[in-house]
Amino acid sequence: MASGGGELAFLAPQLLIAGAFSFAALLLASASARDRRALFLLATFVCAAAAFARALSVALGGPGPDVLFRGIYPEALAPAALWQFAIQFPAVRRFARFDVWARRSAAVAWALGIGLFVTNLALAYPVPVGPLAILGRDNPANRFWHLFAAAALPAIAAIGIRAHRAPRPERDKVARFGWAIAAGAAPFLVSGVARLASPKFERWMHVGRGPAHHTIDVVVVGALAAMPVLSALALVADRPFDVQTFVPAGIQRWLARRGISPADVVRMRPRQRYRRDRLTTALDRIRRARGPREIADIIGHELRFGVGARHARVVAVEDVPPDSALLAVLEASTAPLTLTEDGALFPILPAADRGWLREHDISLAAPLRVHDGSVAAVAVLGPRRDGGPYDATDRWFLTTLLTGAGAAWHRPAAAGAGDAAFECVRCGAVADEASLACGCNAGAVLAALPRRLGGEFDKFTVAGRLGAGGMGIVYLARDEALGRDVALKTLPALRDGAVARLRDEARAMANLNHPALATIYGLEVWRGTPVLVVEFFARGTLADRLASGPLSRAEVVSLGIRLAGALSYMHARGVLHRDVKPSNIGISESGAKLLDFGLSADLESRAGTPAYLPPEVRGGVPASRAADLWGLASVLLEAAGGRAVLRDDEALAAFFERAFARDPAARFQTSAEFAAALPQIDPSP
């Protein structure tokens, strides 16, 4: 790489402007999730920055653009992207004739940009372009840049014209945007006009040196570098964006500790809005919680991610050191207590309390009060992840969260006195306490059920999690009264519509009785949550079986006949399964059985797992019997080993060709027809 003074003088402006465009692009990328207009301005900046990036690459030497980006000039598309931004900015409620003209102009700009891009790409390779060669980006005639300016400048003018019909906040934003463009471009334009008007000034700019020449260069380059940043801020500084969104909380606190007002660093409004939205969701989850353990789990999660605590949890009053002065202070306090070692309270606490705080790395604590005002538990937080102190917003969030939690802490249970158990995140083993005996050492999370379930007689003992999915979570349990293993299916959390859906599944299963359908033994209720007691399949599911290899030809045929009979039985009663797949087929000693009726409904309902649905249903057509038959055919094909197996089996190939026919009318129309086609296949290998 060249390192002389001339090369450095050339590189510094290019590097500064490229960096400015990159920083502006980061601002716009952060804002684009909340306003699509930022995407169009971002595209404009990225295209424009390509010119400076290419100049840097050439100056730095190496193959660079000659190999990787030969003939590729994204800057040709910058005016079109700017026009796309201009028809969206400012936001105007009315749609006038000028808007129609602007949209047509944007289309013309895109056509021109694509034409310039393709022409320059052709010029880089031995492709004849004839007189269009004059449109080359580096052609001395500069027709490329003339067309570039002719397309881009009207777009900026269109923004100003459309602003006359925009609301006042949008007009103010356009004014700031216009000033940013004018301030950035003015020194460059003035310098350019002076060079055109005065040959003497032009010669001086080429060969001149000294403070005056250096000052002009600094002003021109500095203004050009400031233009993308200022114009980006003009867009994102006002609602629906706030510039404080881009100021990290750690920097904000660093400034605040040095005497700078929070209002001066423009920080509170978006943060409060985020906290308010998160708090609303958390309180709704607490309202639906099924006991103190679930409430404590929600609080811990929200304090870690909503407040930024390195660790947080809710501890029972009994877990605070006995005869604790800390607990007495918490009972008398109406606000969270700062418990860092440099705080005012820490030094005056007894040694036992100080040791307990150090052992658990506690920086903040607040009482959780129930309806009678007594302290039922204590929320304790470790240091903030960014190392800063907890501020007023953090304390407000914590206090409000605990107030809502206190109202639900001792809600009477609808049924079942036990609190939620704990389960291993790796093997799913369930225990009453977080100290699990499974030996995985993988950590414990809150389970969806208690360890013992079934009213005052504790009829079921939950052993472990079998699986979880979008429709619920399933546990293995022991029916103590009848001495058999059962599967308990419930909800991971109470949600609108989910309880009704699980009850509908229980009714659907209870009203069906077929050898190839899973048996439901009953329905329990734990703290307002329905729990289905269903047949347990010790051999697992078909998905578990296929993990060890495909089925034989005879097994595939037998499976198809058995499950087609179950679907025929269901369809005759106006019920669809709608989610036939290997994981919903249990393997018992008597044969395969369909299970998981969470999607069963009338014939007008829509269906579930896309991989096992026909194309028309994936496209939005309501499910029918054909959806179940397609799912069963998909299961059989997977069980046979996939389409590769069909090359050597014409009979199976013909069966699946009809089952998966593009035309729905050419497929099997009923389960009976589906089953009748299977016996025609010789089941021998």
CATH of the domain at 381: 3.30.450.40
Last residue of a domain, one of 243, 259, 286: 243
Q: Is residue 656 part of a domain?
A: yes
Q: What share of the chain is helix, strand, coil (3-state, %, to 5)?
A: 55, 15, 35
Inside any domain, residue 624: yes
Residues 495 and 613 placed together within one structural domain of the fold: no
- Specify if 265 maps to a domain: no
CATH number of domain containing 516: 3.30.200.20
Vertex 474: Cα angle to 469 and 479 (nearest 5): 175
What CATH number does residue 121 fall under?
Answer: 1.20.1070
Query: How distant, in Å, are the alpha carbons of 196, 315, 583, 623 from that of 498?
Result: 74, 31, 21, 21
Shared domain check, 562 and 518: no
Based on the domain organization, do 86 and 116 belong to the same domain? Answer: yes
Output phi, psi for 132, to 5 deg.
-70, -10
Is 685 a member of any domain?
Answer: no
Preceding peptide of 240 cis, ω within 30°:
yes
Number of domains in the chain: 4
Residues 64 and 196 in one domain: yes
Q: Token digits for 66?
A: 């000659």
The per-residue pLDDT for range 77-97, each reduced to its tens digit, is 888 888 888 887 777 655 567
| CA atoms of 176 and 181, how far apart (whole Å) | 9
Q: What is the 3-state secondary structure (H, E, C) of 369-392?
A: ECCCCCEEEEEEECCECCCCCCCH
- The edge-to-edge listing of strands for the beta sheet with 375-381 is 312-316, 375-381, 364-369, 337-338
d(CA 45, CA 26): 11
- For residues 384 and 434, membership in a common domain is answered with no
Q: What is the residue range of 293's domain?
A: 270-408
Phi-psi region of 428 (alpha: psi -120 to 50; beta: other; left: phi over 0): left
88 and 169, same domain (yes or no): yes
Q: Are residues 385 and 504 in the same domain?
A: no
In a domain, 318, yes or no: yes
> What single string gives the DSSP state of each residue in 432-472?
SSSS-SSS--S-EEEEEEESEESGGGT-EEEEEEEEEETTE
Q: Which two tokens stand for residue 248?
A: 């990290």
CATH of the domain at 549: 1.10.510.10
Residue 608 belongs to some domain of the structure: yes
Specify if 377 maps to a domain.
yes
Q: Give pLDDT, residue 184.
A: 72
User: Do 546 and 524 share a structural domain?
Assistant: no
Active site residues: 579
Which one-letter DSSP state was computed for residue 244?
A: G
CA distance 217 to 111: 35
Q: Final residue of a domain: which of 511, 535, 559?
A: 535
Identify whether residues 403 and 354 lie together within a single domain: yes
- Which residues of the chain carry a pLDDT beneath 70? 1-14, 27-37, 51-69, 92-96, 165-169, 188-189, 192-193, 195-196, 201-210, 213-214, 234-274, 410-417, 455-457, 469-471, 493-502, 505, 597-607, 679-685
- φ, ψ dihedrals at 342, nearest 5°: -95, 10
Cα Rg for the chain, rounded, in angstroms?
A: 35
pLDDT score for 569: 92
> Taking Cα atoms as reference points, which of 557, 671, 674, 664 lies closest to residue 613?
664
Domain boundary among 361, 381, 408: 408
Q: How many CB atoms lie within 10 A of CB 617?
A: 22
What single-letter amino acid sits at 462?
A: V
Helix pair 292-305, 268-288: axis angle to 10 deg: 160
The answer on 341 and 233 residing in a single domain is: no
CA 153 to chain centre: 38
pLDDT score of 581: 92
Q: Are residues 398 and 464 in the same domain?
A: no
666 lies in a domain? Answer: yes
**Same structural domain, 319 and 182:** no
